[in-house]
Amino acid sequence: MKKNDFEREYPMQRQILRRRILKRRFKTKKSNKLFAKAQAIIPGGVNSPVRAFKSVGRSPIFIKRASAAYIWDEDRNKYIDYVGSWGPMLLGHANPAILRAIREAVKRGTSFGAPTSLEVKMAELITKIVPSIEMVRMVNSGTEATMSVIRLARAFTDKDKIIKFEGCYHGHSDSFLIKAGSGAMTLGVPDSPGIPSTIAMNTLTARYNDLTSVRKVFEENKDQIAAIIVEPVAGNMGCVPPIEGFLQGLRSLCNEFNALLIFDEVMTGFRVAIGGAQALYGVQPDLTTLGKIIGGGLPVGAYGGKKEIMQMVAPAGSMYQAGTLSGNPLAMAAGFTMLRILHANKMIYKQLEQRSAQLEEGLRENLQKLGLGYTFNRIGSMFTLFFTSRSVIDYESAKTSDTAKFSTFFNAMLEQGIYLPPSQFETAFISTAHRERIIEKTIKASYKALQKI
């Protein structure tokens, strides 16, 4: 008997079967068991803090596989994924072209610790796409990139102090865990033990989107500031775009006070536009850090900028930085394939904008119908729904969000098969694999989830 014949012949059995499928849909037994085991041998049971799901009041789910816009956990629950490995999966999970590139690279070996032609091709493509980058050095992570670029800025300017912004996250090196965003903000630990006071003294903080606060820091530390480092679109206190004139103002202040401007585009690079946020907003930094998308899903990072600055990096110059696995052939193969696809097809960003706008419109309609106070911030395929009626433009306004409401929303969405970042203060991402019907399904699920708040 065919499925349709069965449903017509036995309507009651059909309803029972549907109920069983729904009951079976969201189970966490295997994930819970894995988490209990992990906590005995891994600090907190995870290898990066936000993954622990502490801020949303539940144990984490353990992912088994992924494809296109979907992920599956160890309990066989299927989710529409809006995390995308925290940004790299712009083309969706397990993109066929990227997988082919990795398979071909694996056949030749996994690591050489020596130069390869693919590193040169990767550098050529990055410098072609991002005008401010004349030379680039590959590293293994975003943290390694930002750590290295700060050392370079200090070496080039012969100054020690840097300015960062409250709520902006630039990795976990000592210089940056001062009023940091991301997991530090999520877990309520804005400053980390283990950072020497001498290092902390050289990290000055200003308010994001507030040029007056930046000028004040410069004037109070004349001739001591090597650089400003900023996420041109903040993504680690949630998605917080720059207000009009902010990035241009930073460029002017750096020129005035003889400091370098560093854009941390680990998240925004090739995400918000083909040339990153600097192309989108028309502001050219002196140095740029990259990561995530340029690895095609594999671990990678990079920093680059003006030739006169980059030539200080060893062995060309005296600023030392090295890495055994830098330029890893698998990461280069995946990243080069990713960038080549993006560079060849500019329509990708138009498609991402259409899908993202569709989701934003649907979520706003649902929130307005239910009379819930909210702020929805979005730039391209990056977005955050904040549970606050206040406009979110900086660290302080982001903290006005009702994290309890977010937790309720997150859990309700998860149980309906929608996987969002497990923190109010993280950015969600859309990929080209999020088709129209997937977005519509998400919008419908969000209405049900918002009703529980």
Give the DSSP letter string of 316-340: TSSB----TTTT-HHHHHHHHHHHH
Single-letter code of the amino acid located at 283: V
Could you give the strand order of the β-sheet that contains 428-429, starting from the edge strand earlier in sequence? 375-379, 382-386, 428-429
Asked whether the beta carbons of 295 and 88 are under 8 A apart, the reply is: yes
Choose, from 75, 264, 286, 394, the residue flagged as catalytic. 264
CB count in 10 Å sphere of residue 28: 20
Asked whether the beta carbons of 394 and 230 are under 8 A apart, the reply is: no
Dist CA 26 CA 30 (whole Å): 11
Dist CA 354 CA 349 (whole Å): 9
Q: Does the annotation mark 191 as catalytic? A: no
Nearest to 327 by CA among 116, 39, 77: 116
SS3 122: helix
Dist CA 314 CA 305 (whole Å): 15
| Integer-rounded Cα radius of gyration of the chain | 23
Sequence-distant (≥ 6) Cβ neighbours of residue 436 within 8 angstroms? 355, 358
Q: Does the annotation mark 169 as catalytic? A: yes
Nearest to 261 by CA among 156, 363, 342, 336: 156
Distance of CA 384 to the CA centre of its chain: 12
Choose, from 79, 292, 349, 402, the residue flagged as catalytic. 292
Dist CA 342 CA 334 (whole Å): 13
Strands 260-264 and 225-230: parallel
Choose, from 70, 79, 82, 169, the residue flagged as catalytic. 169
Dist CA 418 CA 406 (whole Å): 14
Nearest to 122 by CA among 346, 327, 326, 285: 327
Structure tokens at 299: 């671990």
Dist CA 276 CA 132 (whole Å): 11
Nearest to 103 by CA among 362, 332, 333: 333
Q: Does the annotation mark 75 as catalytic? A: no
Question: Which residues form the catalytic set?
Answer: 169, 264, 292
